[in-house]
Amino acid sequence: MRCTVCNTPISAGSRGRKPKFCGGTCRVWAHRHQLPSELTSKDRWIRHRNKVPITVNGHAASSTNSATWSDYQTAKASTHGDGMGFVLAGDGITCIDLDYCYDGEPTNEAQALIDSLPDTYIEISPSGKGLHIWGYTDLEQGRRFTRNGLSVEIYPNGRYITMTGKALKRAPLSALDLSHIMP
């Protein structure tokens, strides 16, 4: 058996339980970096190097070519590139990308937008200065606009989003009615 976080060999636990982690550090990390099953169950994972999409083997990947995507566990186990990304493929899963709106807590404008939406998964972007809000919409095309000084990008397909697993809010993906925020 191996730790699901660091892959360190572990022995059988006491009381006959099969342990998942080698210790407290990996257990805490796993709970803080748990991604929604709505994303991890899809075979739409890639790696990235400097935000450029690559396959789990380090070759060029595409947000529109499913042959370059992988399942979550394979992407997570890969050491190529700087991190993982999830491909948006037009099935309703949508990401709202907010840049320069987080410095230990959301700006007032970002918090107002978050408060206008139902509980859903939100994570801190790789820069540590932005937020990714995940949910379901019926949008077919992406949109970019400014709302109360906040730069908002909405992506439903043909893109990939870098993932950190650093959750600001851990919740299942919800249906997002965006009519009140879009121009």
Q: Which residues are paired to 46 by β-bridges?
A: 85
Band of residue 9 on the pLDDT scale cut at 50, 70, 90 = confident
Domain boundaries, the chain: 1-32, 35-183
Average pLDDT over residues 75-82: 94
Average pLDDT over residues 68-85: 95
**Which amino acid would we find at residue 103?**
D
| Of 8-12, 35-39, 59-63, 129-133, the least confident | 8-12
Q: pTM (2 decimals)?
A: 0.82
pLDDT of 39-60, one tens digit each? Answer: 999 999 999 999 999 999 999 9
d(CA 85, CA 65): 14
Band of residue 20 on the pLDDT scale cut at 50, 70, 90 = confident
Length of the chain measured in residues: 183
> pLDDT over 90 for what percent of the chain?
76
d(CA 81, CA 75): 11
* More confidently predicted of 6 and 47: 47
Nearest CA to 140 out of 66, 88, 102 is that of 88
Query: How big is the CA angle at 104 (ends 33 and 145), to the nearest 5 degrees?
Result: 90
* Average pLDDT value over all residues in the chain: 91
Model confidence at 4: pLDDT above 80 = no
pLDDT of 145-165, one tens digit each? Answer: 999 999 999 999 999 999 998
Per-position DSSP letters for 123-175, written without gaps between them: EE-TTSS-EEEEEE----S-EEEEETTEEEEEE-EEEEEEE---EEE----EE
Average pLDDT over residues 109-117: 96
> pLDDT over 70 for what percent of the chain?
91
